[in-house]
Each structure stands twice: as C-alpha cells, then as structure tokens.
Chain A
Amino acid sequence: MIAVGTRAPDFTLPDHLGRKVSLGSFTGKRNVMLLFYPLDWTPT
C-alpha cells in the first residue's frame, strides 16, 4: 500500500454520472478521502 507521507499519484476517472473527476483538481482546495472498495453491491 502507498506509504503515508508520499505524494498520491494524480488520476482522472469518470464517476457514476459520467463526470470526469481529477485528484489534482482538489489540490490546494480540499482534502480528499478515497474509499477503495472491492465491488459495487458490497458495503462501502
């Protein structure tokens, strides 16, 4: 797993409504919490 203190790799992914979301777009504005989960239909 990525180590605490390192820079997160930037990415752009489509969301469930088809909008593009970039990690970099939050830089300097907001913290981001990424919830990785195995599959849809499982609890997040």
Chain B
Amino acid sequence: MEALLPRFRAAHTQVLGVSVDSIYSHANWGRSLEGISFPLLADFHPKGGVASACGLYLADNGITDRATLIIDKDGVVRYAVSVTPGGKRDIAELASECEKVDREFGKGLAAFPEAGGMPAGSTLYVKSKCGFSRAALLARDNLHLAGKLPVKNVTDDPAAREALVKAAGKEQAPCLVHGTTAIHETPEIIRFMVTSATDLAG
C-alpha cells in the first residue's frame, strides 16, 4: 500500500483505513509498521457504525469485511468490492480504479456558456495607421469577438469606404455600425463591445 501511495495521490485520492479497532490499537499497529502515511480510522464507538452504514459490518464476528469503497469528489460511491475477510486486495488494480474515477472528473460539469456575441450585421470599420482603430481592434481581440464582429478597412478597401459613408453618413473611422446606429467615439465603441461580449443571458 505504502509503495503505491504516490499513484493515489496523483489521482487526487485520499486513502483511509477503517476497522473497528480503537485509536490505541491503530497507533500501536502503525508504530509496528514503522509509521503509516495514511489515516487509520477507529470505527470503534459505536462499534462498526460506519461499516454498518455501508453494509460491511459482520455482526456475528464483530469485525468488518475486507472491502474497498472508492468515493468520488461528489460523495458518490463509484467502486464497492469485497475480497472477504480472509482475502487479499490488489492494490495496483485499486490504483487503476482511482485513476479511472479521477479522469472522469469534470465530465459532469456544465459546458461553458458561449460568450455573448454582437448584434447581427454589426461591422467595425477601421483605417490604417490609426491609434483609435488599433485600440478598437485590440478590444475586439481581447473580448474574443474576432469571429463575431467583421472588420472592414476603409483605407485599403474602396467598397468598405462607400459602405461606411452609406451607413454612418461620413468617412470617419473607427466606426462601429449595427443596424441603423453608428458609434464613432472609440471609448463608446469599446464599451458597446464589452456590453455585448459579456452578456451571458443567451
């Protein structure tokens, strides 16, 4: 058991021994084993109380079955096997079982909500060699809106310039156009992007 403890630790598993012995018996036994690096729990008073709750108390003999339970982080029993009191556990196999349970952690978690998008048909118009355009583009990247907010450069693209004039009435860029609204001030453009991107209601 001691030799394989690192594997259990790596699988985020706390190992606990349980028997009906008192803490004094545990302490003596632990000393005779030259120290034991996982807790031995005394299911002593009421005798076998926890074992009974798990259906592992052998009342006729006043002892606990030799059995292993693996309980996941949510408190759910994932493995329950008895090898009978006289049997022997396969610790390596138990380590594999713990690793299996550990790998599944996270599968039950809800998927991340998709980040908010931009109103359909939004376009960010920018121009080259412009600090304000650059600030708007950086905000777009940082808010993970790259795939959701198309960009048109009015310096390189005459058709974009024409579209901007048509939508906003003037050539000034940066400009965020959505629906019939055109936003020209860079802080307002960024504020609008932040509001849209952080709306997780959908």
Contacts and interface: CB of A to CB of B under 8 A. Distances in A.
A5 to B, nearest CB: 7
Interface of A: 1-11, 13-19, 21, 23-24, 26-41, 43-44
A43 B88 contact: yes
B17 A35 contact: yes
Contact of B71 (A3, A18, A31, A40): A31
Interface residues of B, number: 63
Contact of B13 (A5, A31, A36, A38): A31
Contacts of A41: 29, 32
Interface of B: 1, 8, 11-21, 23, 25-30, 32, 36, 39-43, 49-51, 53-56, 58, 61, 63-80, 82, 85, 88-89, 94, 98, 101-102, 105
A7 B74 CA distance: 8
A16 B73 CA distance: 24
Contacts of A36: 18-19, 51, 54, 56, 64-69
B29 to A, nearest CB: 4
